[in-house]
Amino acid sequence: LNNEIFVVLAVDLDLSEPEAIAGVDTAVRSAVSATSLTAMGSLDLTNVIATGKEMIRAAGFVDGGVAFSRAANSTVATDVDYIALISTNNFFCSVQGTGNTAAKAVTGRLWGYRARADATTYAALVQSEVLSA
């Protein structure tokens, strides 16, 4: 192996809008992770790098309900050195729609750069990433 890692600097997620259906709660969620997930990921999972959520709460309303948007669909642009390290060859993006009548999508950008770690650091990063999946 070449001991190469990807240093993630920022993530920006652009989710499809949930549908405004009278009396029905709808949502679109997304997650970017360093390992494959069997369910929608959230930030309490070690390998989840970023999440996004758009929802409309309409249960009990006769109109389209009230829309809620999570303001942090993209990572902060501050003086943070990095937000995540990906040490394996893949990363994953998942999207889930709830209560909608049509399929939903997510587009996004992941900013970062390739770096080389020494053998000990690389082995520790790979082991941590794989074992916490």
pLDDT digits (tens, 9 = 90+) for 42-66: 989 989 999 999 998 887 777 666 7
Domains: count for the chain: 1
pLDDT-based confidence at 130, cuts 50/70/90? confident
pLDDT on residue 91: 94
Q: Confidence band (pLDDT; 50, 70, 90) for 2?
A: confident
- Domain of 108, in residue numbers: 4-131
Mean pLDDT of 20-35: 92
**Which DSSP letter does residue 18 get?**
P
User: Side by side, which strands form the sheet with 48-57?
Assistant: 66-69, 48-57, 26-33, 92-98
Question: What average pLDDT does the structure give for the chain?
Answer: 87
Checking if the pLDDT of 73 tops 60, the result is: no
Any idea which of 60-69, 89-98, 116-125 has the lowest mean pLDDT?
A: 60-69
The CA-atom distances, in angstroms, between 54 and each of 44, 50, 100, 132 are 18, 14, 12, 27
pTM, two decimal places: 0.83
Q: Which residues pair with 7 in a beta bridge?
A: 85, 113
pLDDT for residue 128 is more than 80: yes
Give 56: exposed, middle or buried? Use CB within 10 Å, 0-12, 13-18, 19+.
buried
Q: Mean pLDDT throughout 68-73?
A: 61
